[in-house]
């Protein structure tokens, strides 16, 4: 079984920042990532609110953060963590690529997009239903698209989609967006963007590919059909903590409970970034969490081993 000082689960900005600090502390560090490095950054177009970078592409920032961690010695492996055993002095991390032992563990697994949970969503996934504008937007050149949601992701990615689509309609269940004001201002002044308020999607229909949505007008209690070529769904995120099987305490949505040092109730086990409760869910705060967790992990190791 391979042994490390610190294992970090998650290769997003939190995990990369933790890896950078841990590597510079000369801890034998392993970052485990199941997919692309960068976490949500990997599926984000422009990032304009990461201090020091007026504008940078999400995947580029994600890769830069990881390259920085690797430069200082952090190792990375592409594996899926299946479970953890936190009972002994050494934590065991069981993955589809073997089991690793570690003196300390940082859970930085971030979150996954939510589904709408309506008929047709699964059937047309990849056939007009998408959760990633950066990945799929270019397939919809001169097409009419709908974006569901009213948060930062819906409005920002909706604006990105206007580079390809002839029209992007945001469908929101309330009459006011949740997104940051600067994103709202840009959306309202974008000629290609339109809004349908107080409405939800009841069903996604098509024949091989998406062709229409059944919308529910909540104010007038009326259902009607709208023709569309594609639907991008941005209705929030759920923390990726399922693999923990309840070993660590979470809130109702699955966010980890941690203190200001990012410590969980298990000594030597930390939770950081979007996966923790009360996170502000920003790249800037995620890297701060990662640095904090790594600093206190190093202290824990120095005091206990
Ligand atoms: P979010 O902020 O949780 O917004 C989710 C949106 O989806 C809300 O408008 C919500 O409506 C709507 N919604 C939720 N469930 C729905 C359902 N079943 N049917 C229809 N609508 C539904 O999620 P997000 O936009 O993915 O952002 C997640 C976090 O990442 C946020 O903290 C955000 O600030 C951050 N983020 C930041 C940036 C940036 O800084 N540029 C970019 C992307 C994301 P209600 O408003 O009615 O609740």
Residue with CA at minimum distance from ligand 1 atom 13: 235
Residue 45 has pLDDT above 90, yes or no: no
Domain that holds residue 255: 2-112+237-304
- Answer yes or no: is the C-beta of 155 below 6 A from any ligand 1 atom: no
| Whether residue 251 lies in the annotated active site | no
Q: Are residues 142 and 283 in the same domain?
A: no
Q: Are residues 193 and 295 in the same domain?
A: no
Q: Are residues 227 and 146 in the same domain?
A: yes
Q: Give the mean model confidence (pLDDT) for residues 131-149.
A: 95
Residue 162 has pLDDT above 90, yes or no: yes
Q: Are residues 250 and 225 in the same domain?
A: no
Q: Are residues 251 and 290 in the same domain?
A: yes
First to last CA, the chain: 19
- Answer yes or no: is the C-beta of 132 below 6 A from any ligand 1 atom: no
| Whether residue 85 lies in the annotated active site | no
Q: Are residues 158 and 296 in the same domain?
A: no
Q: Are residues 104 and 25 in the same domain?
A: yes
- Domain boundary (214, 233, 252) is at 233
Point out the catalytic residue in the list 67, 135, 175, 251: 135
The total of structural domains in the chain comes to: 2
- Domain boundary (233, 255, 274) is at 233
Distance CA 26, CA 270 (A): 19
CA-CA distances (angstroms) from residue 290 to 81, 84, 97, 99, 169? 19, 20, 24, 23, 37
Distance CA 152, CA 201 (A): 19
- The alpha carbon of 79 and the centre of ligand 1 are apart by a number of angstroms equal to 29
Q: Are residues 229 and 171 in the same domain?
A: yes
Domain of 121: which CATH number? 3.50.50.60
- Answer yes or no: is the C-beta of 115 below 6 A from any ligand 1 atom: no
Name the pLDDT band for 66 (thresholds 50, 70, 90).
Answer: very high
Secondary element (H or E) of residue 159: helix 152-161
Residue 123 has pLDDT above 90, yes or no: yes
pTM metric for this prediction = 0.91
């Amino acid at each position: 079984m391979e042994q490390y000082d610190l294992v970090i689960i998650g290769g997003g900005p939190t995990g990369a920042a933790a890896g950078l600090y841990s590597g510079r502390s000369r801890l034998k560090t392993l970052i485990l990532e199941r997919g692309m490095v960068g976490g949500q950054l990997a599926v984000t177009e422009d990032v304009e609110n990461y201090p020091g970078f007026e504008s940078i592409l999400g995947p580029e920032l994600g890769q830069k953060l990881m390259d920085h961690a690797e430069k200082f010695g952090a190792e990375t492996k592409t594996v899926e963590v299946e479970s953890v055993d936190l009972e002994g002095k050494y934590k065991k991390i069981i993955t589809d690529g073997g089991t690793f032992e570690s003196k300390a563990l940082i859970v930085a697994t971030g979150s996954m997009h939510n589904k709408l949970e309506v008929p047709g969503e699964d059937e047309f996934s990849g056939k007009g239903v998408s959760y990633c504008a950066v990945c799929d937007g270019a397939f919809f050149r001169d097409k009419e698209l709908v974006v569901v949601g009213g948060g930062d992701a819906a409005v920002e990615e909706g604006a990105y989609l206007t580079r390809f689509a002839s029209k992007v309609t945001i469908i929101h269940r309330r009459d006011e967006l949740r997104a940051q004001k600067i994103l709202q201002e840009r959306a309202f002044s974008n000629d290609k963007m339109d809004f349908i308020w107080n409405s939800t999607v009841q069903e996604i229909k098509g024949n091989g590919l998406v062709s229409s949505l059944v919308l529910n007008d909540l104010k007038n209690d009326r259902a009607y059909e709208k023709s569309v070529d594609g639907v991008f769904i941005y209705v929030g995120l759920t923390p990726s903590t399922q693999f923990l099987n309840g070993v660590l305490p979470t809130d109702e949505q699955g966010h980890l409970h941690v203190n200001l040092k990012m410590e969980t109730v298990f000594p030597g086990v930390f939770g950081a970034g979007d996966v923790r409760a009360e996170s502000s869910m920003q790249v800037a705060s995620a890297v701060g969490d990662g640095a904090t967790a790594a600093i206190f992990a190093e202290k824990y190791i120095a005091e206990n081993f």
